[in-house]
Amino acid sequence: MEILASSIVAGLLFGMVLALVALGLTIIFGVMDIINFAHGEFLMFGMYTALLTSQALGIDPLLTLPLAALVGFLLGIVCYRGFITYILRGPMIAQLLGTFGLMLLLRNIALLVFGSEDRAVHQGLLVDKSFEMGLGIIVPATKLAGAGLSVVAFIGVWLLMTKTRMGKALTATALNPQGARYMGISTEKMNALAWGIGGASVTVAGALIVNFWPVNPYVGLLFTMIAFAIVALGGFGSVPGAFAAALVVGLITEIPGFWDFLTYTLEMDWMYDVPMTSFKYMWIYVAYFIIMVVRPRGLFGWKH
């Protein structure tokens, strides 16, 4: 039972971080109906930013969060102004392949600049520390802090989206771009802003993830796919939906470990050959597929 409880806690904590990863994607999709394949690469740049500045300045990776946010914001704006704005009017396939090209570009720039080896954070306030939460549940401090700060950032962005004037303009652009233009909202600026906010939130997530996940230039695609699944589960464009779906996806990735534990303790030897942990990402895609077919709008979607 303790194993189950700790799997669930680990899943929920990972899900909270994933919520921040998916937030940027859902905002961008909601505002301009475009799927960004390069999303995971933004995350990768966030991870490198946190890792390298903390190593260069000798400070804790958590203190680099503002810098990561700035990098992500600028990267998002540059990508939008320099490239995305040109593919927006094209057919859907050009948009998909265009952002795929952006993904290849960012990934290989990282490969050229940072090299292909795995790098991980070895020093920091939180590394190698863990909390005992009772019931025998032990949580690494890095994951706990990552989850907590993710939730804070998530709520911050959500408040920005719903309470401020700028956020309301953004929502208006998402709902009806033409109507928004009639109201005097510069939709071009709002699109760029959505990319900026999307980029910033995902690089912050990257800076949090790097504390417990080694980084290399190929790390992005897995997170892109997870973020797609979350956004689809939660409904494209829905911010609260993304949060709920991220928790579900977090649980999906952690529960298979518990299942493997069961097969070993109950000696179900027919299961030995196929450890469920090697399928943990597959279940995300399966869940995505089922939800898409049964309920295409997603769990909380409004756009279709």
Is residue 229 part of the contact set for other proteins (CB under 8 A)? Answer: yes
- Give the footprint of other proteins on residues 180-219 (CB under 8 A): 217
Q: Quickly list DSSP for 243-302.
A: HHHHHHHHHHHHHHHHHHHHHHHTT-GGGTTS-GGGGHHHHHHHHHHHHHHH-TT-SS--
Q: Which listed residue (100, 158, 259, 302) binds other proteins by CB under 8 A?
A: 100
Q: Which listed residue (4, 57, 112, 138) binds other proteins by CB under 8 A?
A: 112
Q: Which listed residue (66, 90, 136, 156) binds other proteins by CB under 8 A?
A: 90
* Strand partners of residue 139: 131
CA-nearest of 22, 4, 5 to 244 is 22
Comparing CB distances to other proteins, the nearer of 91 and 134 is 91
Is residue 302 part of the contact set for other proteins (CB under 8 A)? Answer: no
Q: What number of residues does the chain have?
A: 304
Q: Which listed residue (1, 56, 93, 266) binds other proteins by CB under 8 A?
A: 93
Is residue 282 part of the contact set for other proteins (CB under 8 A)? Answer: yes
Q: How far is the CB of 180 from other proteins (least distance, A)?
A: 21
Q: How far is the CB of 140 from other proteins (least distance, A)?
A: 26
* Strand partners of residue 132: 138
HSE, side-chain direction, 13 A CA sphere, residue 214: 7
Comparing CB distances to other proteins, the nearer of 17 and 25 is 25
Burial of residue 91, with CB atoms counted within 10 A of its CB: 0-12 exposed, 13-18 middle, 19 or more buried = exposed
- Give the footprint of other proteins on residues 54-83 (CB under 8 A): 83
CA distance 243 to 152: 12
CA distance 16 to 100: 26
Interface residues with other proteins (CB under 8 A)?
29, 33, 35, 83, 86-87, 90-98, 100-105, 107-109, 111-112, 115-116, 217, 221, 225, 228-229, 232, 236, 273-274, 278-279, 281-282, 285-286, 288-289, 292-293, 296
